[in-house]
């Protein structure tokens, strides 16, 4: 394995560079996936049948909390990668931990929100609108849930093996994933919640 | 301690909070639909670009050409899907 020391650890081998490029290509596919969900959402948003509309069930408080928590977690994972590049393992793990806790906070609020939707009569089978709403939000939430377990396993690996080209590469790729989830949330926040509340 | 908080990323975070606050004005100021959608489109796409460039280091290495080509391709497909669907399913019938 040829290690190029002029580059940050996560890019230091040919394998690492290809891993990162490969992950960007995966994120490209994810952009298209969420594109189809948004296309379906915009088509079905007014097909509420006898069920509630977005303006009836959306509440600003949980949305504000979710947005702020996810934006902050995107910032802290960026700081984690910055600390990793400085070789500060402890600071990196601390930022990683904060990120995962914020992710857990986001998920808790989202589960609370889904529960609220269910109780005001907006279940998955109520109307075309609620079905696509919960599918879109749920796909994003499922990504966050997966990210929590993925991030946790990376924290454990870094603690055990230290910062090596492999663990640094995995951490960097996780940070790309986490930032991407934040990007998706920005679009959900703008074109599902804000548009629905307008 | 301060070396753990690089200026560029702190500014990126502050800017993303400002963009969110601007997007929230749509709700709190009761804007008309067209104005509101324009504001949301602008803030959402700036916000996304900010994340990609400042936090995801998209243009950092020799692979930047491949990364941006892939991104533009993905965004093109996503936009074509969304607006193509709107055109055929909604706007075509108005």
Distances in Å between the alpha carbon of A108 and those of A103, A111, A112?
A: 9, 5, 6
Give a yes or no: residue A1 inside a domain: no
Q: CA A146, CA B77: separation in Å to the nearest integer?
A: 25
Q: Which residue has the tokens 């965004």?
A: B75
Contact A10, A168 (CB under 8 A): yes
From chain B, pick out residues whose CB is under 8 angstroms from the CB of A25: 70
Q: CA B64, CA B42: separation in Å to the nearest integer?
A: 25
The DSSP symbol for B56 reads S
> Are B27 and A31 inside 8 Å of each other by CB?
no
| pTM beyond cutoff 0.90 | yes
From chain A, pick out residues whose CB is under 8 angstroms from the CB of B66: 21, 24
Give a yes or no: residue A102 inside a domain: yes
Q: CA A90, CA B83: separation in Å to the nearest integer?
A: 46
Q: Spell out the domain ranges in chain B.
A: 1-56, 62-93
- Which is higher by pLDDT, A132 or B3? A132
Q: CA A160, CA A172: separation in Å to the nearest integer?
A: 17
- pLDDT (0 to 100) of residue A99: 97
- pLDDT (0 to 100) of residue B20: 92
Q: CA B69, CA B73: separation in Å to the nearest integer?
A: 6
- Pick from A83, A189, A194: CB nearest B4: A83
CA distance B71 to chain A (A): 6
From chain A, pick out residues whose CB is under 8 angstroms from the CB of B85: 39-40, 42-43
CA distance A26 to chain B (A): 10
Around A175, how many Cα atoms within 13 Å sit in the side-chain half-sphere? 30
Task: Select from A45, A172, A158, A60 the least CA-distant residue to A116.
Answer: A60
> Are A43 and B85 inside 8 Å of each other by CB?
yes
Segment A3-37, tens digit of pLDDT: 777 778 888 888 888 999 999 999 999 999 999 99
**What is the number of domains present in chain A?**
1
Contact B57, A180 (CB under 8 A): no
Q: CA B54, CA A198: separation in Å to the nearest integer?
A: 30
Alpha helices in A12-127 (DSSP H): 14-44, 54-57, 60-85, 89-119
Give a yes or no: residue A3 inside a domain: no
Segment B28-87, tens digit of pLDDT: 888 888 999 999 999 999 999 888 888 877 777 778 889 999 999 999 999 999 999 999
In CATH, what number is assigned to the domain containing residue A23? Answer: 1.20.120.80
- pLDDT (0 to 100) of residue A1: 57
Q: CA B49, CA B29: separation in Å to the nearest integer?
A: 26
Output the CA torsion A174→A179→A183→A186 (10° steps): 120
- pLDDT (0 to 100) of residue A96: 95
> Are B74 and A27 inside 8 Å of each other by CB?
yes
Question: Which residues are within 8 A (CB) of B55 and not within 5 positions of it... i.e. 6 or more apart?
Answer: A74, A75, A77, A78, A175, A179, B9, B12
CB count in 10 Å sphere of residue B25: 14
From chain A, pick out residues whose CB is under 8 angstroms from the CB of B4: 79, 82-83, 86, 88, 91
Best mutation site among B78, B84, B90 for testing chain A: the one with the most A CBs within 10 Å?
B78
Which domain, by its residues, includes A185? 14-197
- pLDDT (0 to 100) of residue A11: 83
ipTM, two decimals: 0.91
Given a cut of 50, the residues of chain A with pLDDT beneath it are: none
SS3 A50: coil
- Pick from B4, B27, B51: CB nearest A60: B27
From chain B, pick out residues whose CB is under 8 angstroms from the CB of A174: none
């Amino acid at each position: 394995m040829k290690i190029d020391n002029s580059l940050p650890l996560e890019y230091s081998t040919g394998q690492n560079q290809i891993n990162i490029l490969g992950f960007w290509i995966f994120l490209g596919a994810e952009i298209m996936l969420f594109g189809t969900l948004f296309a379906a959402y915009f088509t079905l948003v007014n097909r509420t049948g006898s069920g509630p509309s977005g303006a009836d069930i959306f509440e600003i408080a949980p949305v504000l909390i979710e947005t702020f928590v996810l934006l902050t977690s995107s910032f802290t994972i960026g700081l984690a990668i910055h600390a990793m590049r400085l070789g500060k393992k402890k600071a990196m793990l601390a930022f990683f931990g904060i990120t995962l806790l914020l992710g857990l906070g986001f998920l808790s609020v989202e589960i609370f929100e889904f529960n609220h939707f269910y109780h005001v009569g907006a279940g998955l089978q109520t109307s075309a609108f609620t079905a696509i709403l919960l599918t879109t939000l749920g796909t994003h939430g499922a990504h966050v849930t997966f990210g929590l377990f993925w991030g946790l396993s990376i924290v454990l690996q870094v603690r055990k093996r230290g910062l090596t080209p492999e663990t640094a590469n995995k951490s960097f790729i996780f940070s790309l994933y986490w930032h991407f989830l934040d990007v998706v949330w920005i679009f959900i926040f703008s074109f599902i919640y804000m548009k629905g509340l307008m | 301690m301060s070396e753990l908080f690089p200026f560029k990323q702190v500014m990126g975070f502050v800017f993303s909070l400002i963009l969110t606050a601007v997007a929230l004005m749509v709700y709190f100021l009761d804007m008309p639909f067209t104005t509101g959608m324009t504001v949301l489109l602008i803030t959402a796409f700036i916000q996304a670009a900010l994340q990609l460039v400042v936090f995801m280091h998209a243009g950092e290495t020799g692979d930047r050409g491949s990364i941006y080509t892939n991104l533009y391709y993905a965004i093109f497909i996503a936009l074509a899907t969304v607006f193509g669907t709107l055109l055929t399913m909604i706007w075509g019938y108005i």
